[in-house]
Amino acid sequence: MLTLKSFERASELVKKVTSPTKLVPSEYLSAQTGAKIYLKPENMQYTGSYKVRGAYYKISQLSDEERKKGLITASAGNHAQGVAYAAQKYGCKAVIVMPMVTPLIKVNRTKSYGAEVILHGDVYDDACSYAYELAKEKGYTFVHPFDDLAVATGQGSIAMEIVKELPTVDYIIVPIGGGGLSTGVATLAKMLNPSIKVIGVEPANAASMSAAFEEGEPVTLGSADTIADGTAVKRIGEKIFPYAKKNIDKIITVEDDDLIAAFLDMVENHKMIVENSGLLSVAALKQLNLKDKKVVCVLSGGNMDVITMSSIVQHGLIKRDRIFSVSVLLSDKPGELVKVASIIAEVQGNVIKLDHNQFVSTNRNAAVELRITMESFGTEHKEQILKALEDAGYRPRLIGAKLY
């Protein structure tokens, strides 16, 4: 049972392994929505996410014998670090099975807490099946990342902190993967104040909770293909589902492109690194009418490797027309390249990369191709640059932008 007493106990206990994540008012998001938006920055936890809450509370509830057997779990990364860190605190052995596609930063951080890491499968569900096999074979105690009421109780401590800091909160928006976080937060929020609305957010291509709500029971998706790797779960938990169904007021889905935009917003306006799964709550804001409401968006994690960040930033800048590429045809004679560069400079375009191809035509006197990748201030400025090129007699053709 998820009880108020257990939530209170967990809220005190997890203070031993968590950092205070005070609410951060967001002027930018508040202006965008007409609401008063606050961020709950669980990405700033020592392990990089909220997951240490549920892991530590769960392990605290195990017997000495269960802990001595050694712990095993499956995780896309954040729960792995939570279990590894909590196990280290209790002096337990920890074995973590992670999908092959898990970002390197999550793998290395998990190992840094003394855990043994095994990479297996393409998504969380594959890793979980293998972890169960190992638990049976080796006698390890399995610590489920979300389908465990003790784990959900630990995650629910977030709601306790939110309500204590902002008693008049109207909405709490929470990412959903397997459902442990959303279930814990929603259940405790309703116990503390039934008028609080809790909205769960899933990636559109991994909407396992939405499917469960529609069918009235957990179902297994055919795939979970999303850049939000921490919430790429094909099937939500059986044990937590009744609580989720009762206490989550609404579930919405977010496309991957919206997560890319949210990442740029968070970096530029809040100077925060938040992983794609953690941004689900922020990306959902554009779909909701929250005018004049007090809203808390839970940023569930910040464990993102640098290569992924680079890719997200590039795609985000291209999507917002801050970077674009054009192709123009020039006569193959001295000075033509300078003319084009001067036109772009006059309208404050900034050239990033040039590719001059003399062999686009067999008649080099007629035309050579110049491909230009450049920065702009946004869509309006991009159109201004294109018009300047057209007015000068060139016919700029937009092409796919690539920085490298």
Tell me the catalytic residues: 51, 300
User: Which of 169, 147, 148 shows the shortest CA–CA distance to 158?
Assistant: 169
Spatial distance between the Cα atoms of 86 and 88, rounded to a whole number of angstroms: 5
In contact, 175 and 149? CB cutoff 8 Å: no
- Structure-block tokens of residue 130: 């293998």
Spatial distance between the Cα atoms of 27 and 269, rounded to a whole number of angstroms: 9
Pinpoint the alpha helices (H) of 193-333: 208-215, 241-247, 256-270, 280-283, 306-319
User: Which of 175, 205, 156, 170 shows the shortest CA–CA distance to 281?
Assistant: 175
From residue 142, how far is each of 67, 73, 75, 175 by CA, in Å?
Answer: 10, 6, 12, 24
Pinpoint the alpha helices (H) of 14-73: 27-33, 51-60, 64-68
Cα dihedral: 5, 11, 16, 20 (round 10): -170
Spatial distance between the Cα atoms of 112 and 122, rounded to a whole number of angstroms: 23
